[in-house]
């Protein structure tokens, strides 16, 4: 992963972890808004006052420099001079690896430096600083040096102990699901949908029985524990013999897709569709280029895997032919063989395959928005980025990358 992308993900994770800690440490009358009036986190207290927090994570920096907070500081100044609210306090929550200074109010010289910096050009055109009172703003703006991401996680796990949730499931169930919930809420448009209380969060977590697999939970330091926890949860349905399964696999998401997809399909068939009692061929929906799809089909044929594409009769996708029952043949009165081991299609050919109402399970390893028939179907989202992780989750391998 490029260093810029890595730091961006760490920055978001730091914000989500800080948000979670604020929720867990809040009282019943306090509400927490994700992406609030100046981004990141708003705490609204019982008396109506608000604390607006911006998080900045600079793990690679050894010491604090005012330039690190110019952008959020300017956003806070904009809100201070334009808002009619008089009960708002601001906090810059900053982590730099070599600085553990005490919490303090922002200095007026730091305010002036921000206003004369290149970033000040980003101030909204209607921002009137004529009567801006630097001293008054400095009195309501705090600079706090936060812990590292790992230390923040430890604080969160400690805070979970004071809740009613079972302590033995915090690290692998409640913590990753809480981070995933906050990440998902952060992109919602409505402010009320981005607001949580401690009681609401705990009610949601109490109902969760599956460990969330997402780009955020897989970016946590606990990702191996998350994968280990999710594997036995998936095994419940994977261990059933008669189950109509569909796997959605993305070329854009899975590394080495072209090189490993055929071997993955072969391993899946060898594990989950090799007995006479395995009477429902798995379906594979590939999100890849048409040329690669044709090549994959040719390679599967060379491997001796029997499949249908739904294109065999007219050259156009025929849903009824794609989902037809396999023809069974008996050899020497003993050996049973069907003419279909798998069904395979490509998003370039059809989207209707995912609207099939007969699936029992759909495993989605894809970030593309797809129209999937979800009623009475177990849809498992697993946006892992390697076949190694996918094989581990689905019980095809015992090794975690």
Rounded Cα gap, residues 365 and 286, in angstroms: 10
- The structure tokens listed for 352 are 């209707």
Domain assignment present for residue 179? The answer is yes
Mean pLDDT of 285-302: 96
Same structural domain for residues 249 and 381? yes
Dump pLDDT digits (tens) for 20-30.
Answer: 999 999 999 99
**pLDDT for position 2:** 52
Mean pLDDT of 147-159: 95
- The structure tokens listed for 154 are 């430890």
> At residue 200, does pLDDT exceed 80?
yes
Same structural domain for residues 246 and 158? no
What number of helices (H) and strands (E) belong to the chain? 12, 15
Q: Which of 190, 206, 222 is the last residue of a domain?
A: 206
Same structural domain for residues 368 and 248? yes
Rounded Cα gap, residues 221 and 73, in angstroms: 30
Domain assignment present for residue 145? The answer is yes
Same structural domain for residues 257 and 332? yes
Q: Which residue has the higher pLDDT, 46 or 329?
A: 46
**pLDDT for position 127:** 85
Domain count, the chain: 2
Q: Which of 206, 221, 250 is the last residue of a domain?
A: 206
Domain assignment present for residue 229? The answer is no
Query: What percentage of the chain reaches a pLDDT higher than 90?
Result: 76
Rounded Cα gap, residues 275 and 304, in angstroms: 17
> At residue 211, does pLDDT exceed 70?
yes
In 42-174, alpha helices (H): 70-82, 108-115, 134-140, 149-160
Instruction: Residue 149: give the domain boundaries.
Output: 3-206
The CATH number of residue 284's host domain is 3.40.50
Q: How many CB atoms are closer than 10 A to CB 131? A: 6
Mean pLDDT of 355-371: 92
Domain assignment present for residue 26? The answer is yes
317 three-class SS? coil
Rounded Cα gap, residues 270 and 278, in angstroms: 11
Rounded Cα gap, residues 288 and 257, in angstroms: 9
Q: Which of 160, 187, 206 is the last residue of a domain?
A: 206
Q: What is the greatest pairwise CA distance in the chain?
A: 95
Mean pLDDT of 340-344: 96
**pLDDT for position 130:** 86
Dump pLDDT digits (tens) for 61-118.
Answer: 888 999 999 999 999 999 999 888 889 999 999 999 876 778 999 999 999 999 999 8
* Per-residue H/E/C for 185-198: HCCCCCHHHHEECH
Same structural domain for residues 314 and 261? yes
Domain assignment present for residue 35? The answer is yes
Dump pLDDT digits (tens) for 387-399.
Answer: 999 999 999 999 9
């Amino acid at each position: 992963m490029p260093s810029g992308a890595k730091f961006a993900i760490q920055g978001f994770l730091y914000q989500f972890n800080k948000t979670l800690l604020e929720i867990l440490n809040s009282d019943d009358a306090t509400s927490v808004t994700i992406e609030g009036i100046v981004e990141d986190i708003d705490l609204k207290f019982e008396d109506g006052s608000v604390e607006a927090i911006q998080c900045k994570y600079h793990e690679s920096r050894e010491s604090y420099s005012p330039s690190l907070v110019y952008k959020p500081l300017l956003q806070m100044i904009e809100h201070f001079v334009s808002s009619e609210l008089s009960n708002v306090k601001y906090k810059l929550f900053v982590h730099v690896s070599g600085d553990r200074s005490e919490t303090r109010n922002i200095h007026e010289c730091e305010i002036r430096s921000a206003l004369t910096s290149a970033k000040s050009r980003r101030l909204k055109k209607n921002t009137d600083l004529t009567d801006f009172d630097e001293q008054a703003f400095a009195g309501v703006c705090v600079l706090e040096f936060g812990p590292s991401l790992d230390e923040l996680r430890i604080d969160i796990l400690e805070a979970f102990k004071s809740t009613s949730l079972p302590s033995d499931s915090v690290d692998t169930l409640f913590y990753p699901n809480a981070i995933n919930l906050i990440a998902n809420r952060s992109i919602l448009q409505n402010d009320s949908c981005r607001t949580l209380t401690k009681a609401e969060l705990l009610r949601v977590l109490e109902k969760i029985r599956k460990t969330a697999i997402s780009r955020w939970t897989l970016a946590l330091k606990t990702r191996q524990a998350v994968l280990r926890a999710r594997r036995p949860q998936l095994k419940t349905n994977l261990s059933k013999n008669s189950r109509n399964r569909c796997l959605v696999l993305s070329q854009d998401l899975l590394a080495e897709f072209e090189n490993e997809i055929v071997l993955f399909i072969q391993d899946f068939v060898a594990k989950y569709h090799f007995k006479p009692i395995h009477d429902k061929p798995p379906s594979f929906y590939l999100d890849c280029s048409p040329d690669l799809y044709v090549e994959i089909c040719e390679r599967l044929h060379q491997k001796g895997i029997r499949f249908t594409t739904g294109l065999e009769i007219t050259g156009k996708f025929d849903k009824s032919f794609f989902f037809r029952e396999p023809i069974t043949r008996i050899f020497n009165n003993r050996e049973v063989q069907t003419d279909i081991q798998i069904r395979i299609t490509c998003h370039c050919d059809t989207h209707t395959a995912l609207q099939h109402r007969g699936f029992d399970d759909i495993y989605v390893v894809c970030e593309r928005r797809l129209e999937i028939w979800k009623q009475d179907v177990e849809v498992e989202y697993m946006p892992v980025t390697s076949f190694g992780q996918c094989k581990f989750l689905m019980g095809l391998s015992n090794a975690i990358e």
